C-alpha cells in the first residue's frame, strides 16, 4: 500500500497547475488576480517550433500583454545561448536564461534570488512534463502545461520516451489526459513529497 501511495505522490511531481492547448489561451487577468508577478517561460515547442527562429505576432502580443499586466517575463530555456538570445532580442524579451538544465534547480535558484518574488508569485509555462512541470513542482511554483507546437524535434530519444511513459501513467491514474485541457485552479494544492 505504501508503495502505491509513493507512486501516486511521485506522479504528482508531473502534474501541472493548469493545462492548456497553447500559450494563446492563457488568461493573464486570472494569473494577475491570483497574485502572479513573475512568468517564466520555456521557448522551444512552447512559444516557437524547434525549427523556427523568428517570433510571430502571437508571441509578440503575448509578451507585450504580460508586461502590460505588470508582470515580469523571463525566458527560461534549456537551449544554447545563441538561439535563446536571438529569439529574446527579436521578441523584445528583456530577461532570458539559456542552458537552464531543467529539471535541475540551479538556474531556478538564481532566478528566485534575482527577482525576489515569493514562490506563490511565480509560474512557469512549458510543454514538457519531465523538464518544465517537474522543475516547477520541485521549486514549489505553479505551472502551465501547453501542448508542444511540434512533436518531431531534436529532443533526445530518452527524454521523449520518458515523456510518453509519464503521460501514460498520469492518464492511467486519472491525473491528466493528453488533449483534455483543464483551466485548473492556480490556488489548488495537491500533495507532493
Q: What is the CA radius of gyration of the chain?
A: 16
143 contributes a contact to Mg ion by CB under 5 A: no
Buried b (16+ CB within 10 A) or exposed e, 85-100: eebbeebebeebbbeb
DSSP 132: I
Toward Mg ion, which CB reaches closer, 72 or 155? Answer: 155
Among 45, 137, 139, 143, binds Mg ion (CB under 5 A): 45
Question: Least distance (Å) from Mg ion to the CB of residue 29?
Answer: 25
Count of residues near Mg ion by CB under 5 A: 5
Neighbours of 56 (CB within 10 A): 11
Stretch that binds Mg ion, among 15-23, 99-107, 119-127, 182-190 (CB under 5 A): 119-127
- Applying the rule CB under 5 A, the residues between 4 and 43 that interact with Mg ion are 42
Among 23, 71, 127, 136, binds Mg ion (CB under 5 A): 127
44 contributes a contact to Mg ion by CB under 5 A: yes
Per DSSP (E only), the strands in the chain are 18-20, 38-41, 72-76, 95-97, 122-126, 142-146
Which one, of 149, 40, 27, 32, lies nearest residue 93 by Cα?
A: 40
Question: Least distance (Å) from Mg ion to the CB of residue 44?
Answer: 4
Cβ(15)–Cβ(118) below 8 Å: no
Toward Mg ion, which CB reaches closer, 17 or 46? Answer: 46
**Residues engaged in binding Mg ion (CB under 5 A):** 42, 44-46, 127
Amino acid at each position: 500500500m505504501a508503495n502505491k501511495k509513493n507512486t501516486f505522490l511521485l506522479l504528482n511531481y508531473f502534474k501541472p497547475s493548469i493545462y492548456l492547448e497553447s500559450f494563446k489561451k492563457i488568461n493573464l487577468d486570472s494569473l494577475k488576480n491570483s497574485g502572479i508577478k513573475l512568468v517564466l517561460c520555456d521557448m522551444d515547442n512552447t512559444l516557437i517550433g524547434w525549427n523556427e527562429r523568428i517570433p510571430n505576432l502571437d508571441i509578440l502580443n503575448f509578451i507585450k500583454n504580460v508586461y502590460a499586466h505588470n508582470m515580469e517575463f523571463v525566458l527560461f530555456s534549456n537551449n544554447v545561448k545563441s538561439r535563446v538570445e536571438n529569439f529574446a532580442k527579436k521578441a523584445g524579451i528583456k530577461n532570458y536564461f539559456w542552458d537552464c538544465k531543467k529539471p535541475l534547480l540551479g538556474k531556478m535558484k538564481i532566478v528566485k534570488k534575482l527577482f525576489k518574488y515569493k514562490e506563490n508569485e511565480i509560474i512557469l509555462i512549458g510543454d514538457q512534463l519531465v523538464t518544465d512541470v517537474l522543475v516547477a513542482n520541485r521549486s514549489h511554483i505553479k505551472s502551465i502545461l501547453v501542448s508542444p507546437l511540434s512533436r518531431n524535434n531534436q529532443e533526445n530519444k530518452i527524454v521523449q520516451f520518458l515523456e510518453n511513459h509519464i503521460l501514460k501513467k498520469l492518464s492511467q491514474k486519472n491525473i491528466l489526459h493528453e488533449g483534455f485541457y483543464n483551466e485548473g485552479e492556480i490556488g489548488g494544492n495537491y500533495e507532493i513529497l
